[in-house]
Amino acid sequence: MSQNISSDHVHTENDQSAGISRRSLLSGASMLGLGAAAGAAASLPGPMNSLVSPAAAQGAAPSSGAAQAQGGPQALDYPGKDKALSVLGERPLVAETPEHMLDDDTTPISKFFIRNNGQIPEPTTDPEAWKLTIDGEVNNRLELTLAELKFRFQPKTFRMVLECGGNGRSFFQPQARGNQWTNGGAGCAEWTGIPLGEVLQAAGLNQNAKYTAHYGADPHLSGDPSMEALSRGMPIAKAMEPHSLIVYAMNGEPLPDIHGGPLRLVIPGWPGSLSHKWLTRITLRDREHDGQGMTGTSYRVPNKPMVPGGKADEKDFRILESMPVRSIITNPTNGTRLPAGTREVTLRGAAWAGDLTVSRVDVSTDAGQTWTQATLAPTRNRYDWNRWTATAMLPSDGYYEIWTRATDSNGKVQPPVAASWNPQGYGGNAMHRVAVLVG
């Protein structure tokens, strides 16, 4: 499949933009300049400036040549996808969604992020004939077509967050390896499919079955058929959760090819790499899986805190499982200019917490000196994200940063900076900040 990636940049869709480029807010100089122009207090000094979201800014972007020279993002040009998604990598294709585009209760397919690990396989001409094999430590090896899966098992539909394990990677200092995600490696769609646990039960797990191993049709980037683009797995307990699905529909439509159609896994709460796309086989193993993406520092984090930028001791790493608590502001957009005299700003956002739940979300307009609790909307089911609303009171015209932090059901709060540095940049859930200029 051809991948036509445009070199154009995202341009404003809101003439109230303050004209702050999408990545420029990483720079302390740009924040100080805006603060001075607004007659407001200067932004926090030093590394605190890096917390300001680079993923949601509007405004005229620099020319494509200038942005490429600066390593800036490119706009996605892919059939059925919104051009405002930003390409983080072309081989494999990776694109994130700016935070302000995640303002829907259910993330539209057109706005859903893209994460591949290998090449995109050719679309099948007969989705119903797509085959899935269940083998390994089972009593009855199964080979089922998609049509047979639908016939034999009762489908379920859940709205659930899918999040890349490296979401927030760009917030680490020093820079970690991999695609430099901001907060846009996440989305919350309605997934329809068969509970994985029911299919595994039909295969008859034997007493040795301890871990799954996933395989798909996506070729390795090298084209070598003996190599896997990715092969991850999980403990049986997670596989048997009722919300772990073998998915064939997204938002009520047949699963798009770019999102793993016609068949994929969706394993909520854990890194998106477990939710294998173009799924062809699940092997049950008697030990922890050691496939591509399961060893070394791949999707693994240190057991004890590392010196940022230090050398990793791979023997002291563990597999990344439940994702950390995160909240984002989806309205207003970073860089918004509001009319003079504006004293109230309506805020909207989303929050989620891996295997846990969100207990509260708070917002601040004074660099965290005071906080106001947001109102959480009820979730539809487990692993749905919490939509939240709040009102920010602004005492005068000027420059403001709006911060958000979420707290999970175990009492952990989003940190002000990306904590627990690791070589691959997993778990970077720093507080999200957006800048607004009043007047």
Q: If residue 112 lies in a helix (H) or strand (E), which one and from where to where?
A: none
Whether pLDDT at 45 is above 50: no
Structure tokens, 257: 């090819």
151 with 94, same domain: the answer is: no
In our burial notation (b when 16+ CB lie closer than 10 A, e otherwise), range 324-358 reads bbbbbbbbbbbbbbbeeeeeebebbbbbbbbbbbb
Assess if residue 115 is contained within a domain.
no
Structure tokens, 23: 């990545």
Distance of CA 231 to the CA centre of its chain: 19
Pairing outcome for strands 398-408 and 156-163: unpaired
Q: Per DSSP, which regions of 3-96 are E strands?
A: 74-75, 86-90, 93-96
Pairing outcome for strands 279-285 and 131-136: parallel
pTM of the full predicted structure? 0.86
274 with 403, same domain: the answer is: no
142 with 286, same domain: the answer is: yes
Percent of the chain whose predicted confidence (pLDDT) is above 90 = 83
Assess if residue 225 is contained within a domain.
yes
Q: If we measure between CA atoms, which residue out of 101, 158, 129, 151 comes closest to residue 333?
A: 101
Q: Which domain holds residue 71?
A: 24-104
Output the pLDDT for position 71: 58
pLDDT tens per residue, range 160-175: 999 999 999 999 999 9
Instruction: Give dist(CA 243, CA 343) in Å, integer.
Output: 43
Q: Is 5 helix (H, G, I), strand (E, B) or coil?
A: coil
175 with 313, same domain: the answer is: yes
41 with 97, same domain: the answer is: yes
pLDDT tens per residue, range 293-330: 999 999 999 999 999 999 999 999 999 999 999 999 99
292 with 158, same domain: the answer is: yes
29 with 85, same domain: the answer is: yes
Structural domain total, the chain: 3
The residue among 276, 291, 319 that closes a domain is 319
193 with 61, same domain: the answer is: no
Instruction: Give dist(CA 389, CA 409) in Å, integer.
Output: 19
* Dihedral of the alpha carbons of 409, 173, 52, 108, in degrees to the nearest 10: -60
